[in-house]
Chain A
């Protein structure tokens, strides 16, 4: 198996670097701990839930995403510039990085495996309606699709449409309703 080979190669690298005193295993553990506990799609969900109930924040988020989220102080990766794109009844947005796997870590954590795999990266720019159906999402032919290929340091996040059932929901319910996949654009919330 290819990934078993890679795992052994990686273990060799780590051991050699540690033995030479070039890295400290405690640093590795600290990074893993941060990503396991403080970085993840719960951060993006907070931003989306607030945009749903606060029209002023929503406007500022869509106008200048980086400034709008600055006060949160999210960890886990530099987002020099965040662009938030809004799904509407007429437009569906979906995010990819065809060249590597760029993704807004600070808001969504690390990307799912499928986001990094060749199938998604090769096909979503060419036949997104087919790919989205594989995720169980049917986008009507007359609804425009915009695919954002993150080819530089701008990071993209989708602002999903709020389901009608949540119109009077409290903050906790809103937060709970937002999924990572909806913020990538491969799911719609119902």
Chain B
């Protein structure tokens, strides 16, 4: 989806806070981290792709202001409500009883008609053997698809419609675009594709920079280009 999470190349986010080196700054963050792990084990979150998509769907302002563990909280609440484990009104009233102001930004964005993902599939092993042959080989020139989608995808906006070259083939993997929505694993070949900075950012870009992304075969088309 074309969400706030798709940050590559966006401008205006300021200097990196290089002093913010800790992974976890507060007790509540550690508890959220653990809570999400437990929610996976309990089956409230069915797979990582579903969880990533839930985080993508949270309130965009909350995404930017509530930090990494705030985003996780929003994604977790979204899926707990969509799974029918908790309801928004109960969470609201409990959070207010704990001191949450009435005007606080609520990150969670549960859908009325959520994806239904069969249980149990939860595995963190995502490599899969495929019976078909890969379409591309190392050195092949490829172009990425140029359009967005309203569903989960791992093709960032900045790398859409761009020409690159395959630099590694990684075999078959669960396809997040399908798995996030309960449409099955639909495994696909995965490649590392290198893009020059000029391809991504224009002719003025750094000539000694390349960006490499891991892209699934359905994102790619062959091009006639065979030179370096």
The answer to whether residues A98 and B34 also contact, given A2-B65, A7-B26 and a CB cut-off of 8 A, is: no
Chain B residues within CB distance 8 Å of chain A:
5-11, 13-18, 20-26, 28, 30-35, 37-39, 41-42, 44, 52, 55, 62, 64-70, 73-74, 76-77, 80, 85-86, 90-91, 94-95, 98-101, 104-108, 124-127, 154-156, 158-159, 168, 170, 173-174, 176, 190, 192, 194, 197, 200-201, 205-206, 208-216
In order of increasing CB-CB distance, the 4 nearest A-B pairs are: A6-B70, A98-B8, A2-B65, A110-B23
How far does the alpha carbon of A51 sit from the alpha carbon of B208 in the complex, in Å? Answer: 27
Q: Who on chain A is nearest to B51 by CB?
A: A100
Determine if A52 is an interface residue (Cβ-Cβ < 8 Å): no
The answer to whether residues A153 and B126 also contact, given A5-B104, A15-B94 and a CB cut-off of 8 A, is: yes
Q: Which residues of A contact B125 (CB under 8 A)?
A: 78, 80
Contact, CB under 8 Å: A99 / B6? yes
Chain A residues within CB distance 8 Å of chain B:
2-3, 5-17, 22-24, 27-29, 31-32, 35, 77-78, 80-81, 83, 98-101, 109-114, 116-123, 125-129, 131, 134-136, 141-154, 181, 186
Q: Who on chain A is nearest to B41 by CB?
A: A27
Q: Which of B21, B38, B55, B77 contacts A114 (CB 8 A)?
A: B21
Q: Give the Cβ gap from B16 to chain A, nearest Cβ, in Å.
A: 5
Contact, CB under 8 Å: B26 / A100? no
Q: Who on chain B is nearest to A85 by CB?
A: B212
Contact, CB under 8 Å: B190 / A152? yes
Contact, CB under 8 Å: A149 / B211? yes
